[in-house]
Amino acid sequence: MPGPKSKLPAILSLVAALLGLLFASNSTLDYAKHLDRRLHDVHCSFIPGAPATSEAEACRVAMYSPYSALFKEQYWGGIPISLFALGAFAFYSAFAVYLLVYGSRAPKRALRFFGAVSLVPLLVSLVMFTISVTKLGTVCKTCAGIYISSILLAVAGVMAFLSSKEEAPDEPRATVGPALPLIWLAALATIALMPALVYAASMPDERPYLTKCGELKQAKIKNDEFVKVTTSRPIQPTLLFEDPLCPTCKAFHERLVAENIIEKLDIDLALFPLDNECNWMLDQALHPGACIVSKAVLCGGVQARAVLEWAYDEQEFLARAGKQGPNVLRAAIKQRWGDVMLKCVDDRKTETRLNNHLHYASDNNIPVSTPQMYLGTRRVCDEDTDLGLRFTLGQLAKEVLK
C-alpha cells in the first residue's frame, strides 16, 4: 500500500471521477438529444471522447430499456439515471482535488468519509450490470465505462481509507469537526440530484405532439383478417403493423413485454413484411425472407403470438436463412412447427390473406416502415414508441399502465 505521504489515492480518485464524469456526460447528452423527437447517433465506446455513431445497438437497447430513466410516466423519456451519475462524479472529482491539495495532511475524517462514499457508485454499477446481463442480454460500452470508473474510484477510496490509519511523523494531519462529514454527505446528495432537477425543469412539453401523427381511414381489414395476438387482460384496442424479421419490431415487442404493457393491449396484428417478394411497395428487400415468416405467423392461429415471438427469438438465424433462399427458411419453419404449418405457408389462401394485409396498409397510407402502433384508430408517433412510450400511454391510454 502507498505510504502516508503518497498522493496516489487522490490522483487515482481524480482520474476515476473524471472518467466517470465523461462517460456519464456522453450518456446524458445522447438521451437529451432525443428530446427533439428525432433519431440520433449515440456514444458507444470504451474510449473516452470517441465520436457518436449509428452503429451502437447495445447502447440503444440500454437507452430504450425501462431501466434507463425514472419517472417515465410523468416526463417524456423520463429522467435519465446517468444524470445522477453526472452529479455524483462531479462531487467525487471536487473531493479528489481537495484530498490532492491537502496531500499527507488530509484529515482522517475526510479520508474515511471518502473511503465509505466511494463504494456507492460501485454498488449502483453492480446493480445496473446485473440488470444489463439478466434483463437486456447486453452491456453497452458507455455503461461499462461508468462501471470501470466506479471500480477505480472504489479502489482509490479503499486506499484512502487505509492511509488514514497511518501518520507522517514530520507532517501531522489536519483535523475537522465531527459534523463536517454530515455536511459533505448532504453536499453529495444535493449535487447528485441537481442535474436531474435542472433537466426536469427544462424539459419541453410533448403533449401537443402526441395526437398529430394521423389516424386510420379504415378501422377494419377486408373480412376482418387481422392476426389476433392473445394477451391475458386486453383492455385497450391496439393495431400493430409489424415485420417478424425487423430488429426494431423485435425491440418494440420486448419493450412492451418488459414494461408489463402488452398483456393489457387488445392486439390486432397486420403483417407488413419489408420484403419485395410479396410487398410491391418496395424496390428491394430490406428483410429477405420476411414474406415467408409472415405467412408462418398468419398460419399460427391461436398460437400466432408464439410463432411471432419464436421469429423474434430466432431473428438473427432466420434473417441469415432468408438471405440463403426460401428453402432454408421453409426447412426452419418445418423443423419448429411441423408439416401442417408448412403446408399452410404454401397455401394460396395464405398468400391472399397476406396480400390483403398489405393492401390495407396501402389504403391507409401506412408509412413503409415498422413497427407502427395505433391506439384505436389514432397513430402513435414513431418517436413515442421508444423513449416516450410510457409517457404517451399515460396520456392516451392510462389504463394500460395500471
- β-pairing verdict for 227-229 and 236-242: unpaired
Tell me the helices (H) and strands (E) count for the chain, helix number first: 14, 7
Nearest CA to 30 out of 141, 122, 126 is that of 141
pLDDT of residue 20: 96
The string of pLDDT tens digits covering residues 285-306 is: 999 999 999 999 999 999 999 9
The string of pLDDT tens digits covering residues 208-267 is: 999 999 999 888 887 778 999 999 999 999 999 999 999 999 989 998 998 889 999 999
Secondary structure class of 263 (helix, strand, coil):
helix
Nearest CA to 301 out of 263, 238, 344 is that of 344
The string of pLDDT tens digits covering residues 345-373 is: 999 999 999 999 999 999 999 999 999 99
pLDDT (average), residues 121-132: 96
**What is the spatial distance between Cα 145 and Cα 25, in angstroms, rounded to a whole number?**
11
48-57 burial: b if 16+ Cβ within 10 Å, else e: eeeebeeebe
Q: Which domains does the chain have, with CATH numbers?
A: 8-202 (1.20.1440), 222-401 (3.40.30.10)
Secondary structure class of 268 (helix, strand, coil):
strand
Grid cell at residue 233: 387482460
**Strands annotated E in 199-297:** 227-229, 236-242, 265-271
Residue 55: partners with Cβ closer than 8 Å, 6 or more residues away: 44
The dihedral formed by the CA atoms of 183, 6, 120 and 24, expressed in degrees to the nearest 10: 100
The dihedral formed by the CA atoms of 94, 14, 19 and 388, expressed in degrees to the nearest 10: -30
Secondary structure class of 191 (helix, strand, coil):
helix
Query: Rounded mean pLDDT of the chain?
Result: 92
Residue 271: partners with Cβ closer than 8 Å, 6 or more residues away: 227, 241, 242, 243, 244, 294, 297, 298, 354, 357
Query: Is the Cβ–Cβ distance between 246 and 274 less than 8 Å?
Result: yes
pLDDT at 97 over 60: yes
Query: Is the Cβ–Cβ distance between 266 and 332 less than 8 Å?
Result: no
Secondary structure class of 277 (helix, strand, coil):
coil
**pTM: predicted TM-score of the whole model, two decimal places:** 0.84
The string of pLDDT tens digits covering residues 1-55 is: 565 567 899 999 999 999 999 999 999 999 999 888 888 888 888 887 788 887 7
The string of pLDDT tens digits covering residues 215-228 is: 998 888 877 789 99
* H helix or E strand, kind and range, residue 7: none
Which of 125-129, 293-297, 398-402 has the least mean pLDDT?
398-402
pLDDT of residue 238: 97
**What is the spatial distance between Cα 357 and Cα 375, in angstroms, rounded to a whole number?**
18
pLDDT at 170 over 70: no
Query: Is the Cβ–Cβ distance between 104 and 164 less than 8 Å?
Result: no
* H helix or E strand, kind and range, residue 50: none
**What is the spatial distance between Cα 306 and Cα 400, in angstroms, rounded to a whole number?**
22
